[in-house]
Structure 1
Amino acid sequence: MRAVLVVNPKATTTSERSRDVLVRALRSEVDLSVRYTRRRGHAMALAREAAAEGVDLVVTLGGDGTVNEVVNGLMTAEPPPRGDAPMAERLPALATVPGGSTNVFARALGLPREWPEATSMILEGLRLGRSRTVGLGRADDRYFTFCAGFGLDAAVIHRVEQARRKGRVSTPTLYLRSIMNQYFLASDRRHPAITLERPGEAAEAELATVIIQNTAPWTYLGDREVNPNPAASFDLGLDVLALRQLRVASTTRTVTQFLSRQPDPRGRQVLRLHDTPEFTLLSSRPQAFQLDGDYLGEREKVRFTSVPAALRVIC
């Protein structure tokens, strides 16, 4: 089996020594080539090249941003033809070694949080031929693995990224402080500007912020799952939670609901959609936009679609 390991050398939870250990472990099972990312977006190009070369497996070592780039590289690649095989069978399989601060995608697949244990599970999966096919989400022309956000949560991620560029460490405390600052100091909470449109359905207007999930959980605070849409699944369409208002009382109640051990957010200010194949978000003013925890700027319109059975993963 031919494999490519795409390494983000800035991965926060690994060192050069641990990367060497990982490479030796993988080489015990596969014919491995190691390629390092040098800039943002480079992992996408490396994955696209690997698929065009006809390799069997692409392994990532990095956080969710690295995984997202690799997935987009694979999904936009032109792999060698394999008869009438569906695209998921023609593309290399994906294995994800957690190397970031949160690693939502890897953990949603059931992999351990720490990279040595996750590597052992991946190696076992390779030996046993164990894999699964997962669906993805797509926002306009970009794919995502576990979540997207339009509004408040994306603006919070932007704040966190700015703090990290200044040397701050990504911690639950940093996220909580960023949430409070964004909510109270930088959000227009009185004038909801977002409209959600679905084919054949009445539009849902005057939404304040929208969370989209391709699986559950949405994210983690340390070891604690955060689950606005607990029924979201890699095997179904997209799930949506939108807040109609960002009033202090109702927003606090909703956040408390999806932080609970049995989350089921409800209320007059909550809109939830389950297993949705496609929808479009429009806004009367630019909104912060994120995919898989990466801030991608501001948008006034984004079309979301579910892409079923898109990619094989080793887990």
Structure 2
Amino acid sequence: MLIVNSFASSVTARNTVVVHRRLSEGDTIGRPRPGDESTSLADPDVPRRRSRRQHDVEIVETNRRGHATRFAHDAARRGFDVVIGYGGDGTLNEVATGIAGSDTALGVLPGGSTNVFARTLGMPNDPVLAVEHLVAGIEANDIRPIGLGQVNGRYFCFHTGVGYDAAVVQAVERRGALKRWLGHPLFISAGLSTWLTGYDRKQPHFTISGGDQPDEPNGFFTIVLNTNPYTYLGNRPLDLSPEAGLDRDGLVAITFTTMRASAILRSLAGALRGGGVAAAEHLDIRTELSELVIHHPDPFPYQLDGDALGETPRLEFQHVPDAVKLVFPTTPN
């Protein structure tokens, strides 16, 4: 099943047709299901009948938040071999949540403006090029279980942002109609406006509990990583911690305990150079976490894999090993 978010930045009707055709021509995507008609909602030009070539590829299109999770869960229940999320990181998060714990594998196609998880896997940022890597991975049967993060019962693929980071994502989503066209400039604008007027930079917003550091109300914003990098600025990865990755057994939490611009910019500049942020007085760094709690009497904002989920007074994290099977992309011959 190919789950398409047609509102995502780089998803077009033309790309969807190309992706569908290439998936249908693969060698090991799925077993034909006689009489099982596929449904295509993505575009009138996409074939609406089951592919009569090697494989059965069903296309469905999302039109609201949570839709991809419902489609993915239903696909897993019906015994699909692979469910592919074609959209931004939020779409991928929903697909992973829908199939976690099942025998159905997760496939990734970049369709958003940043596509952190797909690029972390080494995929091109162009979906027409990336589908060749995905098909090659399926044909090689390179499908392996990976761990995911989980917070308040919901999975995340690469990170959860808490505090200032999430407030910036909220500001971007309030201007969501511009996101498809402006991309990174919109995030920069939202970051500056949130810094100046939209976030208290004087009082800590939450307390971190987990690891061997003391519990103190000192958090202004936290990134809880399941993979690294945290995000990309253009083609440059923002490398927060080499201790985070799909080959690791726990989460990494990096908390800024100040909102001084000089301290934050110094750490982020180091992250752009690679190797992760350097230890500093304004950073609380915790690694190999199986569990973590972030809490405060007053609710604070948070986001999962780039989707703002509102505010809460408590977040309970855990690392879930072997949560989902992943199709690892392979460089085509």
> Does the CA contact (< 8 Å) of 2:163 and 2:205 recur in 1?
no
Query: What percentage of aligned pairs have identical amino acids?
Result: 34
* Residue 11 of structure 2 is aligned to residue 14 of structure 1: yes
* Residue 324 of structure 2 is aligned to residue 311 of structure 1: yes
Q: Structure 2 matches for 1:1-315, cutoff 5 A?
A: 4-29=1-26, 30-75=55-100, 87=101, 90-165=102-177, 169-198=181-210, 202-236=214-248, 237-314=250-327, 315=329
Say if 1:298 and 1:50 are closer, same or farther in 2 by CA, change over 3 A: same
> Does the CA contact (< 8 Å) of 2:87 and 2:110 recur in 1?
yes
CA RMSD of aligned residues (A): 1.7
Question: How far apart are the structure 2 equivalents of 1:117 and 1:166?
Answer: 26
Question: How far apart are the structure 2 equivalents of 1:71 and 1:168?
Answer: 23
SS in structure 1 of the partner of residue 218 of structure 2: strand
Say if 1:275 and 1:167 are closer, same or farther in 2 by CA, change over 3 A: closer
Question: How far apart are the structure 2 equivalents of 1:202 and 1:307?
Answer: 24
> Does the CA contact (< 8 Å) of 2:239 and 2:272 recur in 1?
yes
Question: How far apart are the structure 1 equivalents of 2:206 and 2:271?
Answer: 22
Which moved further from structure 2: 179-188 or 161-170?
161-170
Question: How far apart are the structure 2 equivalents of 1:137 and 1:31?
Answer: 31
The alignment of Structure 1 onto Structure 2 pairs a total of residues equal to 299
Deviation of 1:139 after TM superposition, in Å, equals 0.6
Deviation of 1:11 after TM superposition, in Å, equals 2.5
SS in structure 2 of the partner of residue 58 of structure 1: strand
Which moved further from structure 2: 117-126 or 242-251?
242-251
Question: How far apart are the structure 2 equivalents of 1:279 and 1:70?
Answer: 24
SS in structure 1 of the partner of residue 181 of structure 2: coil
Say if 1:185 and 1:201 are closer, same or farther in 2 by CA, change over 3 A: closer
| AA of the residue aligned to 2:165 | D
Question: How far apart are the structure 1 equivalents of 2:179 and 2:150?
Answer: 32
Deviation of 1:201 after TM superposition, in Å, equals 6.1
SS in structure 1 of the partner of residue 175 of structure 2: helix
> Does the CA contact (< 8 Å) of 1:235 and 1:309 recur in 2?
no
- The answer for the alignment partner of 1:83 in structure 2 is none
SS in structure 2 of the partner of residue 252 of structure 1: helix
4+ residue stretches of structure 1 with deviation over 6 A? none
Deviation of 1:178 after TM superposition, in Å, equals 1.4
Which moved further from structure 2: 19-28 or 9-18?
9-18
Say if 1:257 and 1:167 are closer, same or farther in 2 by CA, change over 3 A: closer
Question: How far apart are the structure 2 equivalents of 1:195 and 1:311?
Answer: 30
- TM-score norm. by structure 1 comes to 0.90
SS in structure 1 of the partner of residue 199 of structure 2: coil
Deviations 1:75-133 (A, max 9, x none): 2xxxxxxxxxxx4xx42111111111111111111111111121001111111112232
Deviation of 1:248 after TM superposition, in Å, equals 2.5
> Does the CA contact (< 8 Å) of 2:147 and 2:322 recur in 1?
yes
Which moved further from structure 2: 191-200 or 207-216?
191-200
Question: How far apart are the structure 1 equivalents of 2:205 and 2:280?
Answer: 20
Question: How far apart are the structure 1 equivalents of 2:178 and 2:116?
Answer: 24
Which moved further from structure 2: 23-32 or 50-59?
23-32
Deviation of 1:15 after TM superposition, in Å, equals 1.6
SS in structure 2 of the partner of residue 280 of structure 1: strand
Say if 1:170 and 1:308 are closer, same or farther in 2 by CA, change over 3 A: farther
> Does the CA contact (< 8 Å) of 1:230 and 1:264 recur in 2?
no
Question: How far apart are the structure 1 equivalents of 2:18 and 2:277?
Answer: 42
Question: How far apart are the structure 2 equivalents of 1:28 and 1:289?
Answer: 41
| AA of the residue aligned to 2:5 | N
Between Structure 1 and Structure 2, which shows a larger proportion of strand residues? 1
Deviations 1:186-214 (A, max 9, x none): 22111113111127763243222111110
Question: How far apart are the structure 1 equivalents of 2:179 and 2:148?
Answer: 32
Question: How far apart are the structure 2 equivalents of 1:57 and 1:248?
Answer: 45
